[in-house]
Homo-oligomer: A and B are copies of this chain.
Amino acid sequence: MSAESPWVGVIMGGKSDLEHLRPGIDVLKELGIPHEVRVVSAHRTPDWMIQYAQTAESRGLSVIIAAAGGAAHLPGMVASKTLLPVLGVPIPATVLNGFDALLSIVQMPKGVPVGTMAIGKPGAINAALYAASILSLKYPELRSRLGAWRQARTDEVLADRELS
Contact = CB atoms under 8 A, between A and B. Distances in A.
B106 A118 contact: yes
Interface in A60-110: 62, 69-71, 73, 76-77, 79-81, 83-85, 87, 92-110
Given A76-B71, A150-B111, A81 B46 contact: yes
Q: How many monomers of this chain does the complex have?
A: 8
A130 to B, nearest CB: 4
A116 B117 contact: yes
Interface residues of A, number: 88
Interface of A: 13-15, 18, 23, 25, 36-46, 48, 50, 62, 69-71, 73, 76-77, 79-81, 83-85, 87, 92-113, 115-122, 125-127, 129-130, 133-138, 143, 146-147, 150, 153-154, 156-158, 160-164
13 contacts: A39-B157, A39-B160, A43-B79, A48-B161, A62-B137, A70-B107, A73-B104, A83-B146, A94-B122, A96-B97, A97-B97, A101-B107, A106-B118
Listed from nearest, the 6 A-B pairs whose CB atoms lie closest are: A115-B115, A113-B126, A43-B112, A37-B163, A110-B125, A104-B104
